[in-house]
Amino acid sequence: MSFQYTPAADRALHAAAAWDDPDFRSDIAPPALLLGLLEQPECRAAKLLEHRGINEAAVLAFRPGLERRGDPESLDKRVFLSRGVEDGLRTALEMLDENPRTCQIATEHILLGLATANDTTGSWLREQGIDPAVMESEICARYGIDHSPIPFDWTDAPIPLAEQVTAAVIHDEEPAPMVDCQMGLLRVLDAAANRAGEAVRVVEDYARFVLNDAGLTKECKELRHELTTALSAVSHADRLAARDTVGDVGTEIATEAEGKRADVEDVAAANLRRLQESLRSLEEFGKVLDPALGRACEKLRYRSYTLQKQFAARVGATSFQPKSPDLRARLETARLYVLIDGGESEGAMVRRVLDLVAAGVDVVQLRDKKLDDRTLLARAKLLREATRGSQTLFIMNDRPDLALLADADGVHVGQDELTVAEARAIVGGERLVGVSTHSIDQARRAVADGADYIGVGPTFPSGTKQFAEFPGLDFVHAVSREISLPAFAIGGITAENLPQVRAAGLSRVAVSGAVQHAEDVSAVVAQMRQALA
């Protein structure tokens, strides 16, 4: 839901975003919002809280898991409310629906929403003496809202378009055909808006609670908020007046397929399709009411296609797109990824690969910038044969054309090479596509582009590649908190510093020299696998 806030309320929201609650991931939790309000001591909500003896210490005692995670000024300016906070605000606004539409959400509205909510925070506030009924009366008085009946002269007042049918029935008149058409249009828009909002909420819940994917959850939430903003072009009062659920002929029509879902992926995929169909209906019928509404819904529909692609890359299920479930499942369990070159000879490379497969390496990438194309392809085909039938995946570096010719399991590209989409266009949807990332923005882009996995680094100085800057363990930690794609820390990783990578949050690594130059490959691999278990 989209809200507009007063400056004090906006500052409180950003202050609240600096508090981390593990149960709410990237969303603002109700207790964190209380702390944000208290950090604006001059606002009316803070004064009311302090009057009831509620200060920062009291909130932290109520919710011990809260921790400050940074300066509000350094955080992303976009803030996302938890579902409970959003529902509380919606309830508060419904209680105060006589407010002028231009009224912004103030701190007292936020506090009313928190106190009204049917959750632990709402119950605690009410126990502390924050009475929602008293607050509602005080807010109404402050904004000059009068709940007494309003005198109205029905003879002279114009009747809103959505109420003309009702008025015609009152006066025993036949509604004009144009009114029927307009009411039908409003019913279409209302039904499509409800379907789209419900569908994106289902998909968001899947991303949040099933996949635990902060990036996809954020994408769904942003799309849902933008849908609400676009629909503000249609009066909600007119939509409600036109709604006729009892008389809707479509409520009794259903197919057998609608009552069945194979699994949770099927639920999410079905609702993505439902979202796209609803947005198309909103786009076409919205043009009649307001061309801008049609254009806004068209943009959202295109965004839903990108979202579908992101889910397909994340899940790899046939519900989203045809992708090899075997490759996806093997990638999900992969922990140790080794990069090798073409070796001094074909025989030397094959022996090395066989040693790695026997030791239990999950992924082997062939990366060699010195060999000519024919020699590199010949090495790739030998590597394919050496890994065929094993659980070790074979990835080709940089060259999707050679990956296809060698029947590799996938291809890996860098930031200066082909894009994920360009590589996918060559190797197809069945094979895996990985991408190197050196910042959290690049990692987010990889998710949006539909990558199957990412490389995260460089973590430490490496003898393989030279970099002017090292994102280091801070980048590893940022990815572990936000990105749920398989992510392999890379760059200078050894058995000795691997525990630092684990402590930063990732349990997958990509290595080169640490294994290639080892005297006992099996021993080093076993040591690393044990540290990654």
Q: What Rg value do the Cα atoms of the chain yield, rounded?
A: 29
At residue 464, what are phi and psi to the nearest 5 degrees? -85, -45
Nearest-angstrom CA–CA distance, 474 and 2: 33
Instruction: Evaluate whether 532 touches 499 at the Cβ level (below 8 Å).
Output: no
Say what the pLDDT of residue 300 is.
92
Q: If you ran DSSP here, which 8-state letter would residue 257 be given?
A: G
Query: From start to end of 79-228, where are the E strands?
Result: none
pTM across the whole model = 0.50
Length reported for the chain = 533
pLDDT single digits (tens) 258-281:
667 778 888 998 999 999 999 999
Angle at 465 (CA atoms; ends 464, 466), nearest 5 degrees: 135
Q: Which fold has domain 7-142?
A: Double Clp-N motif (1.10.1780)
Q: Give per-residue burial for 125-147: e unless 16+ CB within 10 Å, then b.
A: beeeebebeebbeebbeeeeeee
pLDDT > 70? residue 173: no
CB atoms within 10 A of CB 388: 11
| Region 417-428 average pLDDT | 91
pLDDT > 50? residue 153: no
* Each residue's pLDDT tens digit, 79-111: 667 676 777 777 766 666 544 433 567 888 888
Domain 325-532 top-level CATH class: alpha beta
Cis peptide before 7 (omega within 30 of 0): no
Q: What percent of the chain has pLDDT over 70?
A: 80
Highest-confidence segment of 1-10, 131-140, 205-214: 205-214
Structure confidence by residue, pLDDT tens digits, 285-339? 999 888 889 999 999 998 888 888 788 777 755 455 544 557 888 999 999 999 9
Q: What is the pLDDT of residues 436-473, one digit of tens each?
A: 999 999 999 998 888 999 999 999 987 656 666 779 99
Quick one: the chain helix, strand, coil %, rounded to 5? 55, 10, 35
User: What number is the average pLDDT over the span 419-436?
Assistant: 91
* pLDDT > 90: percent of the chain: 42
State the architecture of 161-315 in CATH terms.
Answer: Up-down Bundle (1.20)
For the chain, counts of helices (H) and of strands (E): 24, 10
With a cut of 70, say whether residue 73 has pLDDT above it.
no
Structure tokens at 192: 């499509």
Taking residues 146-175, report their average pLDDT: 43
Cα separation, 487 vs 434, in Å, equals 9
Q: What is the DSSP letter of 208?
A: I
CA-CA distance, 121 to 186, in Å (whole number)?
38
Distance of alpha carbon 524 from its chain centroid, rounded? Answer: 38
Query: How crowded is residue 285: how many other Cβ atoms within 10 Å of its Cβ?
Result: 20
Domain ranges of the chain: 7-142, 161-315, 325-532
Q: What is the mean pLDDT of the chain?
A: 82
H/E stretch holding 344 reads none
pLDDT bin (cut points 50, 70, 90) of residue 235 is confident
